[in-house]
Structure 1
Amino acid sequence: MVFVGVNDTGIVNSTIHKLTAGLADCVSAELAGSSCQAAALGAMMGELAFRRILKQ
């Protein structure tokens, strides 16, 4: 895991958060016998959509 200092711009933390969400959904999908790629993409797109909606 990458630890970022207090002076980062937030972009790194945001990217790590989206990748972590994608990885978690991928693992869950694999355990359930579903598509890892679809689950990971859905999780990351959901995170992006949430951030966009939250800003409005």
Structure 2
Amino acid sequence: MLFTKIAKILKKRIYMDVLIRKIEPMYIKEIEKNEEQLSKKLGRNVSRNEYISR
């Protein structure tokens, strides 16, 4: 029973908000383009924070 509880905890993904300041808009556009491509490849919506934290 303890093992199943630990397994459930490990399966959960933990995300953090990432704050980036003073970045050029060109890099934001590149991140958004890659984020869209990854979303299409995975078949689900990928957020910017999720993409950056990978």
TM-score, normalised with respect to structure 2: 0.40
Higher RCO structure (Cα 8 Å, ≥6 apart): 2
Counting helix residues as a fraction of each chain, which structure ranks higher?
Answer: 1
TM-score, normalised with respect to structure 1: 0.39
Q: Which structure is larger by alpha-carbon Rg, 1 or 2? A: 2
